[in-house]
Amino acid sequence: MEKVIESLKNLYRGENIVKKHLFFALLLLLPAIAGGAVGIIDKDTPQNVMIVMAVIGGVLFMLSIIPYIFMLGFYINFVKDRLVAQAGIPQISGETFMMGVRALPLCIVWGLYFVLFFGTLFIGPIIPIIMGVISSKPDIGAIIFGIILLLIAYAVLFAVLILVVPFVSYVFIEYVEDGKASGRLFNPFVLIGYMKKAFKDTILVELKFILVGIITSLISGVVTVVIVLFSILVGGFAVLSVPSSQADVAIYSPLPIIALIILSALASIVQFYVSSMVGYAAAENYIGVYKDKIIEQSINE
């Protein structure tokens, strides 16, 4: 775990490190506010508030493509720095956005691969159960047996997903190393080549960072709970400040809603920031495996 700890420390080394991390956190602001606005909506929300929150959330979600492209470019820049053993995190600039734009086609294609492959495998097992339920004479025993098989199928599917995901990192690492998206990087079977060269080392890195992710999630979860409790207090004060007959009006008035959205966005940013830093530390280790195993074996071939 020493290398894991060192990778986490490397994220906080270099010049202007506080400024860089702050700018990264600000990238998360727009999608976090969008999620907070939509999160306000429930069955008790007045229709006028629901419409406003849905519109605000929808617009901000569409605009969130901009910070997502920045984050993609940030990751590409991060990989570029780590390939030459540069510590810290990159400075966000206009070039970061352009890096994201150039890598977007590769990102979209691999996203589609995952949606089509795992989406099909996810939906497939549930179809027989649905057909059994909607049939004129459903067999309860068969449905229960089908649900058990479904859970087993999903457990296997999840295991396959866990095994496959880290090897996609090498697609983007190779993309950064080559400086262009060659045709082979769009071929889903390129993962098999990576697996042959670095399966054991990659899975070991993944398992270590799954453990780190669980630990850091628990820590960030405590912070989130504190923020949620504070949100409840905000709502409680809004209700207590007016007569009981006007409680619904008070809780959905502008100031409490804005406060709740900000607190919800803050909780989302904390969680996403922590998971992102764990992800970047893991990426540094995958880059190490790529350099030590994949590049070395490619040279010897």
The mean per-residue pLDDT over the stretch 24-41 comes to: 84
Query: CA-to-CA distance for 282 and 202, rounded, in angstroms?
Result: 10
- Please say if the pLDDT value at position 166 is more than 50: yes
Query: CA-to-CA distance for 181 and 68, rounded, in angstroms?
Result: 19
pLDDT at residue 154, as a whole number: 76
Q: Are 49 and 257 spatial neighbours (Cβ–Cβ below 8 Å)?
A: yes
- Please say if the pLDDT value at position 276 is more than 60: yes
pLDDT at residue 157, as a whole number: 79
40 vs 89, more confident: 89
pLDDT at residue 263, as a whole number: 80
pLDDT above 70 coverage of the chain, percent: 79
pLDDT at residue 59, as a whole number: 87
| DSSP, res 46 | -
pLDDT confidence bin for 170, thresholds 50/70/90: very high
For residue 165, give both structure tokens. Answer: 């995901």
Residue 85: count of CB within 10 angstroms of its CB:
11
pLDDT at residue 245, as a whole number: 47
- Please say if the pLDDT value at position 244 is more than 60: no
Query: CA-to-CA distance for 262 and 99, rounded, in angstroms?
Result: 30
**Total-model pTM:** 0.83
pLDDT confidence bin for 108, thresholds 50/70/90: very high
pLDDT at residue 1, as a whole number: 75
pLDDT confidence bin for 158, thresholds 50/70/90: confident
Average pLDDT for the chain? 81
